[in-house]
Amino acid sequence: MSSGEVTSSSSTVRVRACSGLVDSGRIKRVLLLLCCLTAALCGVASADEGGEYVPVWGQGANGPVSSVAVTHDGSMIVASAGSVVYVLDQQGNVLWESPAGSRVNSVGISPEGSRIGVAADKLYLYDGDGDLLWTEKTGFVYRSVDLSSNGTYVAAGCDNGAVYIFDRNKKQLWDYDMGTDSYDLAISKNGRRIAIGCDNQGVYLLNSREGESWSYGTGKLVRGIDLTPDGRFVAAGSVDRCLYLSTGEGEHLWKYPVGDAVISTALTNEAKRIFAASGRTIYVFDRTGTEVQKIALKGRAESVAVTPDGSFLVVGGGEGDRSIRLFTNDPDLVETWNPPEAVINETEPSENTTTGVTVPPTPEDTGTDTAAGVSADAREEVPITSRVVGWVENILSLLFEPRDDFLA
């Protein structure tokens, strides 16, 4: 395997990056969290950024929605269910759909929506209108894909342990051998930083010009990864049932335990909001690691994506839910839309029939929101007492948890 312009980083790089985790960085984080806790106890804690998330619409799918992505302005949503890729507009209308040759593991869309990537048996690249531009096949399966602005760089992870970077014309720019399977990746808007979650329990950050910048371990395989568009913050979700937040420079800020494995994550600008799909719940945190909201689904929370400004949240439901849902933190927008009366059909279209839209089933119970099928109490904000407990847990973790665990 050619390493192109990328060379493996030395152990010195890892030690230098991780050394900040055990020195002044920890003290700074503890002081920051103590300040936040003091403010909350004194009753002067700042208000939530943008408020709670409320459902706008829900589209049922005939299969678990394994991956979702959204443009930066929220105008286009891409999702996968089984072996089919769907692209929807902001109102929930299906713009187009396309079958892949096998189960789709990941989808990605460029910030402005001009290019869409699909990771399956092959790597697929479409334009925004649904025209297939090219495919790339290896002897392995593609597990993850993400795109920089205008699709200038297409990053993809393979189950042979390699991460590839292509340009929008299919030219392979370089590849990097991770030495382990990668489960998820994210690329910054300018394409210079790539965050990767791996089977060897590691979270890695690659610099497209220098190779590996830093890494840390979580104790279990890492399923969910996201980067802020500028690459300044990295969110990681692990099977160890924890959500992690780090800076793009390798400083570990905090980790937060949730009830189940975290299989998908998302970030807004400046990490003002961090999202984790875990069990049947989407957890919402602020940058200090404080839990501010829980969104409960009827089934497994499979995937999550958010616009950089936090205005629109997209959730893919797995078994027991099987849906694509749109949320917003601007309640005024909810009344401007009517929920689409359609269900996405996973079955691939044949030559003689048109599939893709059917009448939705009647809701199974009356305890769900008719707009998106979420629990009626799912939009309640987390009380201040729970937030304080979250702050305390993070402070104790930073004070007493050995940092050696964060060496991959």
pLDDT at 203 over 50: yes
Residue 240's Cα: distance from chain center in Å?
17
Kindly report the pTM of this predicted structure.
Answer: 0.78
Report pLDDT for 31.
54
* pLDDT tens digits along 264-273: 999 999 999 9
Q: Could you tell me which residue, 37 or 267, shows the higher pLDDT?
A: 267
Degrees, nearest 5: CA angle 59-65-71 = 75
Write down the residue that tokens 């069990």 correspond to: 279
Alpha-carbon span 164 to 28, nearest angstrom:
36
pLDDT at 69 over 90: yes
* pLDDT tens digits along 366-378: 334 444 455 544 4
Q: Do the Cβ atoms of 286 and 276 come closer than 8 Å? A: no
Q: Do the Cβ atoms of 67 and 106 come closer than 8 Å? A: yes
Report pLDDT for 389.
56
Write down the residue that tokens 């993400």 correspond to: 146
Give the number of residues written for the chain: 408
* pLDDT tens digits along 129-147: 999 999 999 889 999 999 9
Q: Could you tell me which residue, 219 or 9, shows the higher pLDDT?
A: 219
pLDDT at 5 over 80: no
Q: Picking from 25-34, 132-141, 198-207, which range would have the lowest pLDDT averaged per residue?
A: 25-34
Q: Tell me what percent of the residues of the chain surpass a pLDDT of 90.
A: 62
For the chain, the farthest-separated pair of C-alpha atoms sits apart, in whole angstroms, at 67
Burial class of residue 137 (count of CB atoms within 10 Å of its CB; 0-12, 13-18, 19+): exposed
Q: Could you tell me which residue, 66 or 339, shows the higher pLDDT?
A: 66
Q: Whole-number mean pLDDT of the chain? A: 79
248 falls in which pLDDT band (50, 70, 90)? Answer: very high
pLDDT at 353 over 60: no
Q: Picking from 91-100, 163-172, 320-329, 333-342, which range would have the lowest pLDDT averaged per residue?
A: 333-342
Q: Do the Cβ atoms of 143 and 122 come closer than 8 Å? A: no
203-237 in b/e form (b: 16+ CB < 10 A) is bbbbbbeebbbbbbbbeebbbbbbbbbebbbbbbb
Q: Picking from 10-14, 23-27, 100-104, 287-291, which range would have the lowest pLDDT averaged per residue?
A: 10-14
pLDDT at 364 over 90: no
Report pLDDT for 179.
86
Mean pLDDT of 295-313: 97
Q: Return the CATH number of 11-406, one of 2.40.50.100, 1.10.10.10, 3.40.50.2000, 2.130.10.10.
A: 2.130.10.10
Report pLDDT for 395.
52
Report pLDDT for 4.
36
pLDDT at 46 over 70: no
Report pLDDT for 332.
74
Alpha-carbon span 346 to 356, nearest angstrom:
7
